[in-house]
Amino acid sequence: MEPRIAVAVVTMGNRPAEVDALLESVAKQDLAPVRIVIVGNGCPLPEFARRLSLPGEVTAIEVAENLGCPGGRNVALARLREHGDVDVVVELDDDGLLVDPDVLRRVRDLYAADPRLGIVGFRIADELGETQRRHVPRVGSADPMRGGHVTGFLGGGHALRMTMLDETGDWPAEFFFAHEETDLAWRAIDAGWHILYAPELLLQHPRTSPARHAIYHRVTARNRVWLVRRNLPLPLVPVHLGVWILVTLLRTRSLGGLRAWFGGFAEGVREPAGARRPMRWRTVWRLTRLGRPPVI
């Protein structure tokens, strides 16, 4: 049986025009999703989520508080599990756009061809067709058109196999934002699933910087510590954190940013990181062979 596809979108309600355009691009796909879930993350959903003519079964959910991106996605996943008729969920940023009409069909075909395919990452490009270097999921290559098996994926546009999530667990909601993709990717690879970067799957997305968020430096550092505390073998924890302290000192030009980063680092050491499930050493080797050892 061919995999059944759902689409999930999480929004804070501040981009009604962008979400309208995104959902219209979903409606134009040549493969209709069986379900669409739209989550209002700490906000009432504008009328666009209720009045558009969309394919499949559409569910609009409003949660009382902003749960962050991973927490909001977990709400959508929980609803999809209640129905039990979805094999793969495509999660899209609320300001993204599916330019091509065959994205969902290509996703279905990729999953049908590989039963151990857990995650598919899309290529993200701006309105001019340019992909930022930070959106290429491999070390040492700036070519966004080079696909293949990788160690991570982009949160803005990707697909997840539901049976993989049943095995690995869902998004780390406590992260709120930053590094949640790496946490999920490491768990997936440790469980023997494949991650595929498929540049033919395009999500158009405005050019942005993650530092636009006021809490960026603090949360990035805190989650970096949580990430390694949860996932790495103990000998690699100080190596990974030492590398990233050095990288941060070299990259960060703002004294205020450095203060916030080290404050977040201390918070990550002090506060609970969640369940610790260190990856196996063969997973460390697999990540290394794929081009990104888990200390970089």
Domain finish residue from 208, 228, 251: 208
Q: Are residues 152 and 79 in the same domain?
A: yes
CA–CA gap between residue 72 and residue 94 (Å, rounded):
12
Structure token digits, residue 250: 């070299």
Task: Please name the helix (run of DSSP H) or strand (run of DSSP E) that holds residue 59, with its range, or none.
Answer: strand 57-63
Same domain, 117 and 217: no
Does residue 61 form part of some domain? yes
- Asked if residue 222 and residue 199 are part of one domain, the reply reads no
Same domain? For 77 and 162 the reply is yes
Residues 100, 219 within the same domain? no
Band of residue 140 on the pLDDT scale cut at 50, 70, 90:
confident
Whether 240 is in a domain gets the answer yes
DSSP 215: T
Q: Which of 43-52, 91-100, 211-220 has the lowest mean pLDDT?
A: 43-52
pLDDT band at residue 90 under the 50/70/90 scheme = very high
pLDDT at 213 over 60: no
CA distance 158 to 197: 9
Residue 83 is assigned to a structural domain of this protein: yes
Could you say which of 160, 189, 208 is where a domain stops? 208
Q: Is 48 a residue whose pLDDT tops 60? A: no
Residue 70 domain-assigned (yes or no): yes
Check residue 210 and give its pLDDT: 61
Report if residue 43 sits inside a domain: yes
Where do we find the tokens 């990788």? 150
Overall average pLDDT of the 290-295 stretch: 94
pTM: 0.94
Residue 63 maps to a domain: yes
Residue 199 shares a structural domain with residue 262: no
The tally of CA atoms less than 13 A away on the side-chain side of residue 210 is 16
**226 has a pLDDT exceeding 80:** yes
- pLDDT score of 52 more than 90: no
Whether residue 136 is contained in a domain is answered as yes
| Shared-domain flag, residues 261 and 129 | no
What does the pLDDT average to over 217-231? 97
Neighbours of 225 (CB within 10 A): 23
Contacts of range 286-294, beta carbons closer than 8 Å, 24 or more positions apart: 286/189, 287/151, 287/186, 287/189, 290/149, 290/150, 290/151, 291/138, 291/139, 291/140, 291/150, 291/151, 292/138, 292/139, 292/150, 292/151, 292/152, 294/186, 294/231, 294/232, 294/236, 294/240
194-204 and 97-98 beta bridge pairing: antiparallel
Indicate which CATH number applies to the domain containing 198: 3.90.550.10
43 and 83 share one domain: yes
Residue 274 vs residues 22, 148, 206, 271: alpha-carbon distances, Å: 34, 31, 33, 9
- Same domain? For 176 and 228 the reply is no
pLDDT at 45: 87
In a domain, 177, yes or no: yes
Quote the domain boundaries for residue 18. Answer: 5-208
Does residue 250 sit in the same domain as residue 236?
A: yes
Q: Quick check: helix, strand or coil at residue 37?
A: strand
Range with lowest mean pLDDT among 3-7, 34-38, 136-140, 286-290: 136-140
Are 88 and 56 members of one domain? Answer: yes
CA distances from 267 to 172, 214, 271, 286 (A): 17, 17, 6, 30
Q: What's the structural domain count of the chain?
A: 2
Q: Do residues 131 and 234 share a domain?
A: no
Supply the pLDDT for residue 279.
98
